[in-house]
């Protein structure tokens, strides 16, 4: 686990991210929950590799910079925050509960985060307007111009990089629905996934489901943002108990 000095903990942190990424939302939530101030450095997909490859072994975001430390990945960022700011812990103190939280965290990344991303893009990338609406969240004017110009190439690179095709998109939808079935069953009669208090398990699952639950979005906004196929599918899923649970966790624990 990365280490730091007493002097460095007072320095501003920098979160390198995609604003629209649900994995980056997980990192933002953890930082906000811990009450930490940080800058946000928003990158463009594809071009982000020019930045991330100089900092960390993998090309992925989020990446947190703090003093001389570089922490890559939302799991590692939570580990780092819990180690240096133990107030409001996200990792349960009990070893068995900590193990359960880790299992949920890994399961959610594998069976919710990745399949939701692939299913979404398998439908969205063919709709230039809607795809750019999503990718241009919080983009600067220059970034918007680059995305508009480079979209045909970006679309091909994203499909290749995430192994997106009709078959993998459909398989991802089925995996995601199976994960939602398990989540609904696990939450029956419970307020939290692990133990009796909010933990990184709840934060992870809710952050990764945030694009699907779409808290605060009106039906009109969803109809404008989602392709007809995605919109119709979301409507079939929105009656699940886990949707209300995600909304409640966001209301009670998403500190801004």
Q: Residue 256 has what pLDDT?
A: 76
**β-sheet bridge partners, residue 64:** 15, 71
| CB 211, CB 117: distance < 8 Å | no
- Report the alpha-carbon distance of residue 177 to residue 12 in Å, rounded: 40
Residue 238 CB neighbour total at 10 angstroms: 13
Could you please report the per-residue DSSP string of 129-141?
Answer: HHHHHHHTTT--H
| CB 62, CB 74: distance < 8 Å | yes
- Report the alpha-carbon distance of residue 2 to residue 80 in Å, rounded: 7
| CB 192, CB 252: distance < 8 Å | no
Per-residue pLDDT of the chain (256 residues; tens, 9 = 90+): 443 334 444 578 999 999 999 999 999 999 999 999 999 999 999 999 999 999 998 999 999 999 899 999 999 999 999 999 999 999 999 999 999 999 999 999 999 999 999 999 999 999 999 999 999 999 999 999 999 999 999 999 999 999 999 999 999 999 999 999 999 999 999 999 999 999 999 999 999 999 999 999 999 999 999 999 999 999 999 999 999 999 999 999 997 7
DSSP H or E segment with residue 40:
strand 38-42
- Report the alpha-carbon distance of residue 115 to residue 165 in Å, rounded: 13
Burial classification of residue 196, based on how many CB atoms lie within 10 Å of its CB (0-12 exposed, 13-18 middle, 19 or more buried): exposed
DSSP H or E segment with residue 42:
strand 38-42
Q: Residue 3 has what pLDDT?
A: 37
Q: Residue 9 has what pLDDT?
A: 44
DSSP character at residue 193? S
Structure tokens at 222: 């969803």
């Amino acid at each position: 686990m990365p280490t730091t000095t007493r002097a460095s903990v007072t320095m501003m942190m920098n979160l390198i991210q995609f604003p629209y990424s649900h994995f980056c939302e997980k990192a933002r939530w953890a930082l906000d929950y811990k009450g930490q101030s940080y800058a946000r450095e928003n990158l463009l997909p594809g071009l982000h590799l020019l930045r991330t490859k100089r900092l960390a072994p993998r090309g992925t975001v989020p990446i947190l910079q703090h003093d001389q430390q570089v922490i890559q990945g939302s799991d590692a960022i939570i580990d780092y925050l819990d180690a240096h700011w133990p107030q409001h812990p996200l990792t349960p103190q009990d070893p068995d509960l900590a193990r359960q939280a880790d299992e949920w965290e890994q399961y959610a990344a594998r069976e919710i985060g990745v399949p939701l991303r692939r299913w979404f893009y398998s439908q969205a990338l063919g709709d230039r307007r809607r795809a750019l609406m999503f990718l241009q969240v919080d983009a600067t004017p220059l970034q918007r111009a680059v995305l508009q110009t480079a979209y045909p190439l970006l679309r091909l690179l994203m499909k290749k990089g995430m192994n997106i095709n009709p078959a993998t998109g459909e398989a991802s939808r089925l995996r995601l629905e199976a994960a939602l079935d398990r989540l609904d069953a696990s939450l029956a009669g419970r307020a939290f996934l692990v133990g009796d208090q909010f933990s990184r398990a709840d934060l992870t699952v809710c952050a990764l489901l945030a694009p699907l639950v779409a808290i605060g979005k009106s039906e009109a906004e969803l109809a404008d943002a989602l392709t007809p196929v995605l919109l119709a599918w979301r409507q079939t899923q929105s009656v699940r108990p886990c949707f209300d649970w995600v909304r409640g966790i966001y209301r009670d624990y998403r500190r801004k």
